[in-house]
Chains A and B, each alone.
Chain A
Amino acid sequence: MIQPLSGIQNTVAALDAERTRIDVISENIANANTTHGVDGKPYQRKVVVFESALQQAMGAGNNSNMTSQLHVARIDTDKRPPLEIYEPGNPDADARGMVATPNINIHEEMADMISASRAFEANLAVVKNEKAMALQTLSIGKH
């Protein structure tokens, strides 16, 4: 199979991973005030764990063409304890009037989102550059 854009599979994998990271961050931001999650406890912040796996490049029989491809290993939960705020009117408040709110700091999530979005952008720039290089190479034959 011809591969006009070489190494694009790694970039696609990285884009997938960053996309997942942004999805998880958006879930965190959306649930920043969820005091009653599916298990009855406050929502716990989720973190994406990346790992790179060796991937045999397409059509290659030898080991020299192994590339390490990024993918999401797992989506873990942040182990930090929930933040307790005093809100006696809340139905989820305990006997002392304290409500356990998710361990989410919106500023932290925003910074993470900028980081993920910039990483996505960098990988898109790689794709754009690959395409420009391929088209420039094809233009050798034009007259």
Chain B
Amino acid sequence: MSPLSAIPQTTYNFGTMPGMDAARPNALPTPDIQAPTPLGQPGEINPSQPAGDSFGNVLGKMISDVNAKQNAANAAVDGLQSGSGVPLHQAVIAMEEANVSFQLMVEVRNKLLDSYQELMRMQI
């Protein structure tokens, strides 16, 4: 609620500026030099700080999981090559699991980047 309540206030300030149409006090100022200043304000007011933190935690856990899978696959291949009794199929399946986990992580990363770029392209 706080960033939404902040925006009308700034637009109201622009509405009272000279040169604006008095009939539309809530209209957004289109060709204004000071337009970038209100853009910065919603970024400063971030009410979802704990939520963003926990999402970061979830992401970090996923990445460390994928890392663990890669390490397990490495250990299996090492065991296979050093002849310490790891069967071939276990090494191959560990590699496949690591591969699929990695692709899942890449997909999540692509989705995140896509949504970030979508946000950056948004018209204010």
Nearest A residue to B96 by beta-carbon distance?
Answer: A131
- Let me know if B90 and A138 touch, CB within 8 A: no
Let me know if B100 and A141 touch, CB within 8 A: no
Task: From known contacts A15-B89, A135-B103, A138-B107, infer whether A1 and B96 are also in contact, taking CB-CB under 8 Å.
Answer: no
Q: Is the interface of B mostly helix, strand, loop or mixed?
A: helix
Q: How many residues of A contact B (CB 8 A)?
A: 18
Q: What total count of A-B pairs have CB within 8 Å?
A: 47
User: Which residues of chain B come closer than 8 Å to A11, judged between CB atoms?
Assistant: 93
- Proximity bits, B57-80, A CB within 8 Å = 1, else 0: 000001001101100000000000
Whether the pair A2, B66 counts as a contact (CB closer than 8 A) is yes
Instruction: Tell me the dominant secondary structure on chain A's binding face.
Output: helix
Closest 7 CB pairs of A and B: A4-B100, A15-B89, A141-B107, A134-B100, A4-B101, A2-B65, A138-B107
Residues of A within 8 A of B (CB): 1-2, 4-5, 8, 11-12, 15-16, 19, 124, 127, 131, 134-135, 138, 141-142
A8-B110 contact, Cβ under 8 Å, with A1-B68, A2-B101: no
Measured between alpha carbons, how far is A4 from B62 in the docked complex, in Å?
12
Whether A8 contacts B93 by the Cβ 8 Å rule is yes
22 A-B residue pairs with Cβ-Cβ distance under 8 Å, sorted by A, are: A2-B62, A2-B66, A2-B69, A2-B101, A4-B97, A4-B101, A4-B104, A8-B93, A8-B97, A11-B93, A12-B90, A12-B93, A15-B87, A16-B87, A16-B89, A19-B87, A127-B93, A135-B100, A138-B100, A138-B104, A141-B110, A142-B107
